[in-house]
Amino acid sequence: MQQICNFIPEKCIIVAHNAVFDRTTFLQAYKFYKTQDRHFGFTDDLRELIFLDSISIFKERLKKKNINTDNTKLGILYENLFHKPIENQHTAKADVVAMIDIMNKLFNRKQSHEYHLRKHVQAKTNLKGSLIAFKNSKILSDKEVVSTLPNYMFK
């Protein structure tokens, strides 16, 4: 946990497929380690993280391409787009690589992933449920989340 927290900058946007799961898992681990060792190197305002759910982003892009969005499981999306299963699915590395492959397929490659994520946030399309943030170990409301977003996301 300490390695993860040392790796993550103070303010960070994490893109995850089904971000609710990742957010919940991270918060549980953070709170557990915080109670286990008060000298673990954490502070109460350790991190301000925003988990941006790729499901809503992918759904939006798939609809624009007239591709069925009934099943948004990462493996199903990958198979529908690449006609093969994810190798070593459900391992962190394989799932991240698959998500990047999907982003490469769905987004205009002349623009960066950050550009497309920023456009998604700027449009405020399906933000409810896709933006999840915590600060000081407290989950923020939707309104607080939007106010927490870095200014560059709206330029």
Which positions ≥6 away from 68 have C-beta within 8 Å? 62, 80
Which helix or strand (DSSP H or E) is residue 22 part of?
Answer: helix 19-36
Average pLDDT per run of 10 along the chain, which is 155 residues long? 73 82 81 65 57 85 85 93 94 92 84 76 60 66 65 52
> What integer pLDDT is reported at residue 99 of this predicted model?
92
Does this model's pTM top 0.85? My answer is: no
Classify each residue of 132-152 as buried b or exposed e, where b means 16 or more C-beta atoms within 10 Å of its C-beta: bbbbeeeebeeeebbebbeee
The pLDDT value recorded for residue 39 is 45
d(CA 54, CA 131): 10
Q: Residue ranges per domain, the chain?
A: 2-154
Are the C-beta atoms of residues 56 and 130 closer than 8 Å to each other? yes
pLDDT of residue 155: 47
DSSP 28-77: HHHHHHHHH-TTSS--TT--EEEEEEHHHHHHHHHHHTT---S---HHHH
CA distance 150 to 82: 34
Output the CA–CA distances (angstroms, integers) from residue 102 to 64, 98, 108, 114, 142, in the order listed.
15, 6, 12, 14, 27
- What's the pLDDT score for residue 75? 95
Give the residue among 44, 30, 32, 27 at the shortest CA–CA distance from 139. Answer: 27
pLDDT value, residue 142: 63
